[in-house]
Amino acid sequence: MEHIVIIGNGISGVTAARHIRKLSNLSADKTDKKITIISAETDYFFSRTALMYVYMGHMKFEHTQPYENWFWKKNRIDLKKGYVEKIDTKNSTLLFTEGDSLKYDKLIIATGSKPNKFGWPGQDLKGVQGLYSKQDLDNLEVFAPNNKVCKRAVIVGGGLIGIELAEMFNSRNIPVTFLVREQSFWDIVLPIGESQMLNRHIKNHHIDLRLGVNLKEIIADENGQAKAVVVAETGEIIDCDFVGLTAGVSPNIDFLKDSDLETGRGIKVNRFLETNIKDVYAIGDCAEQREPIGNRKSIEAVWYTGRMMGETVAQTICGNRIEYKPGHWFNSAKFFDIEYQTYGWVFAKPKKGHAHFHWKHNDDTKCITLEYDITTNKFKGINTFGIRMRHEVFDKWLNEKRNMDYVIHHLSNANFDPEFYRKFEKEILSIYKKEQTTV
């Protein structure tokens, strides 16, 4: 019986396991496979994106587990708690810190991400962490359970995890100072109009947003816990009881430093998610495409791409070798009260030969930005804030290579809330037509 071992029980690894079991059950020759998932984090798979809602009191941790505990035994997926210290690829063996070992026939590495640390003094103190693991959630209850224990939190780095932490602390009335090195929030990703709208929205939630500043160091108290941070540009000392490090993430691959696997920032893979070692694959946040796919980054720490990689590698392992093809880019997030979606490509500054059409409602919480080709008028992508749009509609329009005129006149087909759209239809159309006339 072929033994498939998966390191990591996040969305990528668990999706791979589920689909391998499903495909092996359906195979014509009924070839069975033994499947083992290894994790040092939790006994069972949970939805990582739901951690913030546990802290905010909207759900309990057990509610983040999409499968009952009996699911794994019923589907003959073995779960092993342990930390892999080394991979011996020559002998197809995993070595654990606990001293035991495990043989495999095929190996899938799905170890995810870890928060970036840039050598700041004090970055390893107690009360300094990111928000990624179940252990991070547990530690939040120790160091920031309420505003009596944590009189102020400082968040370092502006992005999706940073804004989640800010909302979490806000829900418990813990004051927050947000140190963002960019001149405007997430302006490396978002066009300036959207970024500035978020600046105002964050400040409206009583967050002390500091733009264009960097962390110099974290100061410890007598117990080895964070008690303050120093701002690099001004030398200002900000007293705090917790420091959230949210300056991005990087592949969690430190345990591979002495292995034969080829690595860059992540584990190098081809389009089939195969590494340089036969029968060893890498998926999810820890995988790095040798050549980026289109406009995508070579490493994508995104939930849905991790799921798609899991489905793809399962096909290959079960005899149907297929390429990883993620399709058109999309993503979604939430910035306090504003929901965000993006489909296709809208760059912070339009690509050469492209332009943006931007509309913002006067309540300063709703806007859309569309990117298009100036020469052909072809629609390239859309960002929406405060307006829910339908993924399948934009996917269809991108496949059909629709032009801007078509998209603007048919936006109601993509809107989850047609009443809202009708309310502003004339305004959006008139601004678009006026801009086109000006151009």
Q: Are 329 and 344 in contact (CB under 8 A)?
A: yes
For 415, the domain range is: 330-438
Place of tokens 């970055």: 123
Q: Which amino acid is at 412?
A: S
In a domain, 430, yes or no: yes
Domain shared by 242 and 128, yes or no: yes
In a domain, 96, yes or no: yes
Residue 378 backbone phi and psi in degrees, to 5: -70, 135
CATH number at residue 390: 3.30.390.30
In a domain, 412, yes or no: yes
Domain shared by 388 and 430, yes or no: yes
Q: And the tokens for 272? A: 């089939």
**Domain closes at, from 205, 220, 247:** 247
List, as one string, the DSSP characters of 134-147. HHHHHHHHHH-SST
Domain shared by 152 and 89, yes or no: no
pLDDT by 10s per residue, the chain, length 439: 899 999 999 999 999 999 999 998 776 555 689 999 999 988 999 999 999 999 999 999 999 999 999 999 999 999 999 999 999 999 999 999 999 999 999 999 999 999 999 999 999 999 999 999 999 999 999 999 999 999 999 999 988 999 999 999 999 999 999 999 999 999 999 999 999 999 999 999 999 999 999 999 999 999 999 999 999 999 999 999 999 999 999 999 999 988 999 999 999 999 999 999 999 999 999 999 999 999 999 999 999 999 999 999 999 999 999 999 999 999 999 999 999 999 999 999 999 999 999 999 999 999 999 999 999 999 999 999 999 999 999 999 999 999 999 999 998 888 887 655 556 777 887 888 887 776 5
Q: Are 273 and 99 in contact (CB under 8 A)?
A: no
Domain shared by 79 and 145, yes or no: no
In a domain, 42, yes or no: yes
The C-alpha atoms of residue 125 and residue 401 are separated, in whole angstroms, by: 52
Q: How many domains does the chain have?
A: 3
**Domain closes at, from 317, 339, 366:** 317
Domain shared by 124 and 237, yes or no: yes
Domain shared by 133 and 167, yes or no: yes
In a domain, 325, yes or no: no
Domain shared by 110 and 122, yes or no: no
Residue 404 backbone phi and psi in degrees, to 5: -65, -40
CATH number at residue 228: 3.50.50.60
**Domain closes at, from 247, 268, 303:** 247
Domain shared by 212 and 289, yes or no: no
Domain shared by 198 and 263, yes or no: no
Nearest to 395, CA basis, from 347, 298, 326, 348: 326
In a domain, 15, yes or no: yes
pTM value is 0.93
Domain shared by 123 and 242, yes or no: yes
In a domain, 132, yes or no: yes
